A = this chain, B = another copy of it.
Amino acid sequence: MAFALRRSLRASNPTFKQTTRLSGAVRRNGPSVARFQSSLSGAQSTRLADIDASKLQVRPREQPKELPASSTLKFGHTFTDHMLTVPWTVENGWGTPEIVPYGPLLLEPSSTVLHYAQTIFEGMKAYIDSEGQVRLFRPNMNMKRMNTSAKRIALPTFDGEALLNLIKELVRVDKRWIPKEPGHSLYIRPTLIGTQKAIGVSPPNEALLFVILSPVGPYYPDGFKPVSLYGTTEYVRAAPGGTGAYKLGVNYAPGILPQTHAAEKGYAQNLWLQGPEHYLTEVGTMNMFVTFRKPNGEYELVTPPLDGMILPGITRDSVLALAREHISGKNALPNLPKNLTVSERPVTMKEVKDASLAGNLVEMFGAGTAAVISPVNKIGYLGEDVHIPTGEDGMGPISRPIWTELVGRQTGAIPSDWSIVV
């Protein structure tokens, strides 16, 4: 039935070239055929159209690209055969989703995104498990966050489940691009941009959602390598009343110059310090964790609270959840100390420096989708280096067992409801 309807759509759309059958999931989870028919018949609805996965049109690339050797992959430089696009207009809402050959977008030079930075994005990964199945990690959190970001910057929101079904279909179409080597994955980049063809600063009347895929290798191909950080006090990533808690493009480009300054001073990344107290907030483009040893011998795993300046990272949330499940006994992790507490609270550089000097600093690490866990070995702060312990393999006693569980769940090696088979 759905296939027949798609054929009639094909006849009515002169730009349409070729339709392939959708695989099961999109048909099963898609909106009802009745809704699909009503939009085809041109009936005016009082509500604008949401994303409708059942309307997906697929135009495969005629000449698939050659797969690069996994060893040559550089993060975010290689893209797959296809991309997903979903247009939006203020008059009609979300339009026809299309999977088309990866290629340049035609954008009017007046497009809002090019002038006023109206863009949001997400970062997700697809893994191949030992049985050859494709897995996504907590993708509903990305869909939810993307809608929160859209609202903040006056872009249209959407049915997250519908977009997720479309992303799954895109990943299925380009499944051969998912590298199978350990630590490899397919990075998924959903992006939503304002494309209004006028240079007024106002909610856009047009937008474009697109999803591109990039096969990536492990962040540390030769094993974990702790990074050094430069404590940035000259610039801020976020501020009270600002946009730091949302995954908006505007939080990224302004960080490149501070990152360059850190590199010039010989550090790998920058650590964003906030306010006169020099609160630790984030590491480059990652959330940040630090572990202290308390006077009673307990470990305290600390990350800054979601106070409006911190991105609610999915890796951050996963690290917290795993540590808390361990403490509660719901899911004790092998080799993770039992005498552990977890805090979401502010941390100052003074506290970190004092703990380092007193020998009570256990470890520090960044957490994010790209690197998963990124251990830190020193912080350049006001002209001197604060030293941070690292284990033989780079990681510390808290991060190592958490990383093992996290990567196990991501790749499907450890069963959990966080991992979704596509």
Contacts and interface: CB of A to CB of B under 8 A. Distances in A.
Interface string A250-271: 1011111101100000000000
Nearest to A153: B253
B257 A153 contact: yes
Nearest to A309: B239
Contacts of A142: none
Contacts of A76: 110, 198-200
A109 interface: yes
Contacts of A236: 239-242
A193 B112 CA distance: 12
B114 A193 contact: yes
Given A76-B110, A260-B154, A117 B198 contact: no
Q: Which interface class (under 10, 10 to 19, 20 to 34, 35 or more) fits A?
A: 35 or more
A120 to B, nearest CB: 9
Nearest to A234: B241
Interface stretch (A44-52, A99-107, A298-306, A382-390): A99-107
A309 to B, nearest CB: 10
Contacts of A400: none
Given A153-B257, A236-B241, A110 B212 contact: yes
Nearest to A76: B199
Contacts of A260: 154, 203
A83 interface: yes
A252 B200 contact: no
A152 interface: yes
A377 interface: no
Given A114-B191, A257-B152, A83 B107 contact: no
A177 interface: no
Contacts of A214: 110, 199
A235 interface: yes
A114 B113 contact: yes
B83 A109 contact: yes
A109 B243 contact: no
A252 B198 contact: no
A153 B284 CA distance: 15
Interface of A: 74-77, 79, 83, 102-110, 112-119, 121, 151-154, 189, 191, 193-194, 197-203, 210, 212, 214, 234-236, 239-243, 248-250, 252-257, 259-260, 284-285
Given A153-B253, A203-B256, 16 more contacts: A75-B199, A76-B110, A83-B109, A105-B109, A107-B107, A113-B119, A116-B249, A117-B248, A117-B249, A118-B253, A153-B257, A201-B285, A236-B240, A239-B239, A243-B254, A249-B250
